[in-house]
Structure 1
Amino acid sequence: MASFMEELWSSIFTPGPTPTLLIATNVSFAALQLLLFVLGLATHSIHFVVLSFLCAGLWYSINWFSQEVRAAQAAQEAERKKEAETDAEPIDGKKDSGTVDTADSETETESFAGPTKGSKSSAVATGSNPASARLQPTERDTKKRSRTGGDSSGYGSTDSEWEKVEDNKA
């Protein structure tokens, strides 16, 4: 029992439906169904019948979802194995480990390794603007910022202005 509780605790932090978590879920729903059945017999209330149907629907949907997640994980694993097999056998017999396939890449740089000493990055070499250059403030932006009166928070009002307003009212 102690090992089951340890496995249950660790399965909470594991992505996807683990067998331990599914066992605990199914046992909990079975206990809830039994309790609703006993309460329904004891009170003869329609509410417990409705709650039992809702519980059964939720129980079924959780198990269905976990089966779908397992099927999706199996499909992804099969795709990864297929990709690994095709990547293991390069067409021309040579494999460059430092570059990325550019057909699916949307980045400006095309290699994992950073620029080496004495070389320019591929973004500069291709003539495109690097992201840091595009994010620099323009002259118009700096003029707009200087109008805030030196307040670094961007909020234009100060306590002294409120004091001036109060003095004008008096």
Structure 2
Amino acid sequence: MSFFQNLWGSIFEPGTNPQLLIATHLSFTSLILVLVWLCYETRNVHFFALLTIAAILWALVTWFINELKHQPLRDNDQLAKDNGARAEEEQEDKKEKNTNNNKKANQESRTTGTTAAASSANTRRTKSRKT
């Protein structure tokens, strides 16, 4: 197969492969060369800024690709197991929070119920005094 067929096939495969890395580096190299030429020809500060941004982006993409190489790839079954376990843990946490919130709400309603009755009695007294 040719380089471009391998590159197209790498899009549908997990991880990185050599064709994708070559295409990435070639793209950034040509971008940097064009920006260097534009900086030389125009001496415009905007092209210098774009050159700096492109160089930083190239370095970050290269770093990210290297970090991906160190991480093991998981298939869909493993991802589904992990997501199922997380979903169960989150449901248990929500249940615990709901029970804790209900307990707090009950305690607050008991204390505010007596203060609400006392405050309404106080407002009735003050209204009757004013009239």
Q: What is the TM-score of this pair, normalised by structure 2?
A: 0.54
Aligned residue number for residue 65 of structure 1 = 64
User: What are the within-5 Å matches in structure 2 for residues 1-170 of structure 1?
Assistant: 3-73=2-72
Aligned residue number for residue 104 of structure 2 = none
Give 2:6's aligned amino acid: E
Distance 1:8 1:66 in 2: 16
CA drift at 1:18: 1.4
Distance 1:73 1:52 in 2: 34
Aligned residue number for residue 78 of structure 2 = none
Q: Deviations over 1:7-38 (max 9, x none)?
A: 00001111112111011000000000000000
Aligned residue number for residue 126 of structure 1 = none
Distance 1:11 1:18 in 2: 7
* Identical aligned residues as a percent: 41
Distance 2:72 2:17 in 1: 12
Give 1:44's aligned amino acid: R
Q: Deviations over 1:52-83 (max 9, x none)?
A: 11001111111111111101128x8xxxxxxx
Q: Deviations over 1:40-61 (max 9, x none)?
A: 1111101111101100111111
Give 1:5's aligned amino acid: F
Residue 15 of structure 1: SS of its match in structure 2?
coil
Larger RCO, structures 1/2 (Cα 8 Å, 6+ apart): 2
Q: What is the TM-score of this pair, normalised by structure 1?
A: 0.42
RMSD: 2.0
Distance 2:28 2:4 in 1: 17
User: Which stretches in structure 1 are left out of the alignment for 5+ residues?
Assistant: 77-104, 107-170
Distance 1:57 1:14 in 2: 27
Distance 1:50 1:4 in 2: 33
Distance 2:52 2:16 in 1: 24
Distance 2:60 2:40 in 1: 26
